[in-house]
Structure 1
Amino acid sequence: MTNTKYATLVEVAKGQRKDRRLNLALEAIAFDSSSGIPISWQSLAEELDAINRHITVNADDFEEAASDYNHIAERLVEKLHWPNDAIRIIPQGSSSTKTLIRMPGPGKFDIDAVCAVDISKIEAKDPIVFFEKIGEALEDWLPSAKKRCWCVEFTNRRYYIEFTPSVPLNTIPAQAVASICYRPSDRYSDTALAVVDTPTRRWKTSNPEGFSNWVSDQAKRIILVSLLLEKRAMEALASDSVAPVPEQQVPLSDTLRIAIRLLKRHRDMSVQRGYFEAELKPISVIIVTLLTQCYEGLADQNARYSHPIELLADLAQLMPGMIEIRNGDYWIENPTVAEENFAEKWNTNHTLKDVFDNWCELLIDDLQSILSSTDERSLCENIRSVFGCTAVTGSVPPSSSGLASRAPNRVHNVPARGLA
């Protein structure tokens, strides 16, 4: 076992784990004496794969979004009149980590992009002037300014696009380096950027490409060993000055991304079912970071799993224990940007942490309900119900109820603490 930071955090999380219902449920599943494989696990694997395909963004919507992304990127290059080799536009966020999922209701998904500009080749020394130039170049789409990006909405579309103006960190003028917020970590430092933080009117370190590379590198580490699954090769995508949005098809063998997708779906279903308000839900970057840290720690410990549900159960139980406490504050570090805390808002708005804890309890309850199924049909129906999938094709046809409404196992109330 490698004694790394995340391996150590996993050990701490294991020690803090008080609720072992999922472990007991897994141990109670009947095994086929001849193969050693649980009788219904093949069906469960098929159902997980079907749900993953069901929550993948519709191919037509995704192609349309990718087309608009490329159109805006090309127009941006054209309108700014900057040298072609001075600008690079790349996707970031869920689309770049291949963990983008469709919303269970009418909500929109987003495609985030970074506009990385080499300011050694252009005149863009002032961060606010630089930020505003990007907004002016996007004026045909009536963009709205956020703290660090420009949001482009589309009429009659199921998505929106956010562009974040940035520059390579090593091109920041020497006089501005001392005042920059945060510093890059040692990992993936070659892709570190500086983005404009409009509230402070300063540059701020960011590394979306490094973050995506971190998730991808961990996802390649195999900790699932099973005869039930067939691993498919992942094709590398060519890069250019305008990098394409990665395809969102992910096989079941890509266990880290599958876990991220399923937990994000469960969070969205929890909102739809009224457990907590949308504006209070755990943000995706926290889910992705905690799960990837946990996955890396397990891989460093040489952990091995025989079925995706075993790994999913462990990740769900260990995830809360991966949260650090530093000087009395909750801390979820950005592994590519030192000193950046993704849980920063939790320390001033405690309701956000309450909701996260509430959601983790719901997740454990729901996974237990799946594992406690008494037969194959109820198992398949339970898992579709939990993840709100009414049109999946798996091993057992859905019931006539359509699994559209699901009563909670128990009511989870979040303390109001001044927020609705």
Structure 2
Amino acid sequence: MTILADSREAQISQLLGTTIEQLDITDSAFRAAESCYLDLGDHLSQANAQVYVQGSFMLGTVVRPHHRDGEYDLDLVSQLDVAKTSTTQQELKKRVGALLDDYRKEHNGEACESPGKVSEGRRSWCLHYENFHMDVLPAIPDADSPSATAIELTDRNLRNWQKSNPLAYVEWFRTQCAKQFEEERAILASSYGSVDAVPNHRVRTPLHRVVQILKRHRDIYFAGDLDDRPPSSLITTLAGKGYEGETDLVDATMSAVQRMPEHIEKRSGRYWVENPACDGENFADKWNEYEIRRLKFEGWRAAVERDLNEFLLERKGVVALHQRIAKVFGNAPVEDALKTLGARTNSARENGNVHFSTGGLLTTASTATAVPAHRFFGGETAR
């Protein structure tokens, strides 16, 4: 199996990108989660609660769960239009919990499957479905913020109101890859009829893939240590701050990882990675409570850099490279990626779009020497 690319580095990036492509959420899984989210939103709107998606589903950086019995995690905000002076954090959380419990009891399963149960988390409530769960975060508008989308939410101890702005964060993330985002939307337009019809959460730029690569690497690296696993918000923020428009995936990932320390601050002796869309929200707050988590983050970051270097330095052949990537990201997605790339190579060959580059690699570059299509009929080859 030969990968279509113009250089060895590009070949590795193409295999890595296609491997991560296999970990995208499937259309059926996305539709199932989306239908339940919309159904919940309709129900809670009757109580004047606004429900919207935040996190990886909105960003387009969902990665298939590592374990076979793992579940997709859909993060929602349930925003009630009440003043902070008219409620307490405990009252707000109980009210949203009651609304969710009523939804579970009244649900008829027509629009989507019925949630199995409702459980309480430290900050949120969780609706459990067969193959995914929805974490619902109670919130109210932040009347003190100049942003119309800013919110306040309960803290873990129900004492202090915490500030956030999930919708502004999505906009920040997309500005970090704005040029690539519009280019990818234009490519997808043929499938949707127009650029405007392309759903934003379907777009995958190199930055999206970088985040997915890092999340998959983290999931396997911390498979036996979930408590100390770096949160996706931290990884996504540091990757977004470190991304500078690179188009080669290995280069983009390596550069983002190497730049991460530049975006980790120390404020009055506390580690700090600020939410770029909300002043005062610190994604590294747990490092100040648990030093071991920061140390393990640094160990993981170094491991990502080491693994990428080893991909580039592998000189024992393509099989050894495939095995090395499979060790880091899992056998199944690499095997699926090789099949996908094989099919694309055959299709390009049949259309006369495969060429030899000056270095002897197969490429789709039109300036290289064309490779003729092959047709096999019994033991003879027709050209």
- Given that 1:56 and 1:248 are in contact with CA atoms closer than 8 Å, whether structure 2 keeps it comes out as no
The CA deviation string for residues 81-129 of structure 1, in whole angstroms up to 9 with x for no partner, is x3xxxx4211001111111111121222210111223227x99644432
Match of residue 192 from structure 1:
150
Aligned twin of 2:187: 232
1:109 aligns with 2:77: no
**CA offsets, 1:233-271, max 9 Å, x none?**
575579xxxxxxx675444xx011110000000001112
Aligned pairs, how many?
A: 314
Which residue in 2 is equivalent to 1:327? 268
Q: Residue 285 of structure 1: CA displacement?
A: 0.6
**Which range moved further: 260-269 or 124-133?**
124-133
Map 1:8-407; keep pairs closer than 5 Å. 39-78=7-46, 80=47, 82=48, 87-105=49-67, 106-119=69-82, 125-139=87-101, 140=104, 141=115, 142-154=117-129, 157-170=130-143, 189-197=147-155, 199-222=157-180, 232-233=187-188, 249-251=202-204, 254-272=205-223, 274=224, 277-295=225-243, 298=244, 305=246, 307-374=248-315, 375-390=317-332, 391-394=335-338, 395=341
| Separation in 2, partners of 1:312, 1:222 | 15
- One-letter code of the match for 2:327? S
Secondary structure at the counterpart of residue 176 of structure 2? helix
The 1:389–1:247 alpha-carbon spacing in structure 2 relative to 1, beyond 3 Å, is farther
**Secondary structure, counterpart of 1:333 in structure 2:** coil
One-letter amino acid matched to 1:108: E
Deviations 1:14-44, CA, capped at 9 Å, x for gaps: xxxxxxxxxxxxxxxxxxxxxxx85334433
Change (3 A) 1:198 1:357: closer
Query: In the superposition, relative to structure 1, how do residues 249 and 387 fare at CA in structure 2: closer, same or farther (>3 Å)?
Result: farther
Aligned equivalents of 2:92, 2:257: Cα separation in 1: 42
CA contact (8 A) 2:185 2:203 kept: no
Task: Give the TM-score normalised by structure 1.
Answer: 0.67
Match of 1:415 in 2: none
1:44/1:231 CA distance change after superposition, 3 Å? farther
Larger Rg: 2
Tell me if the contact between 1:57 and 1:248 (Cα under 8 Å) persists in the aligned partners. Answer: no
Question: Which runs of 5 or more structure 2 residues have no equivalent in the other structure?
Answer: 105-114, 190-194, 344-383
Alpha-carbon separation, structure 1, partners of 2:313 and 2:239: 24
Aligned mates of 1:310, 1:128 — CA distance in 2? 47
* Partner Cα separation in structure 2 for residue 306 and residue 115 of structure 1: 37
Counterpart AA for 2:210: A
TM-score (norm 2): 0.73
CA shift in 2, pair 1:58/1:218, >3 Å: same
Distance 1:165 1:342 in 2: 19
Q: What does residue 375 of structure 2 align with?
A: none
The DSSP-based 3-state class of the residue aligned with 2:257 is helix
Is the contact between residue 54 and residue 392 of structure 1 (CA under 8 Å) also seen in structure 2?
yes
Q: Distance in 2 between matches of 1:230 and 1:168?
A: 32
Determine the structure 2 residue equivalent to 1:413.
none
In structure 2, what is the Cα distance between the partners aligned to 1:340 and 1:44?
A: 37
Tell which has more relative contact order, 1 or 2 (C-alpha 8 A, sep 6+). 1
Q: Distance in 2 between matches of 1:123 and 1:190?
A: 19
Higher helix share: 2
In structure 2, the residue matched to 1:410 is none
Computed over aligned residues only, the root mean square deviation of the Cα atoms, in angstroms, reads: 3.0
Query: Would the aligned equivalents of 1:40 and 1:376 in 2 still touch at CA under 8 Å?
Result: no
* Distance in structure 2 (CA, Å) of the matches to 1:58 and 1:45: 22
Same amino acid, percent of matched pairs: 25
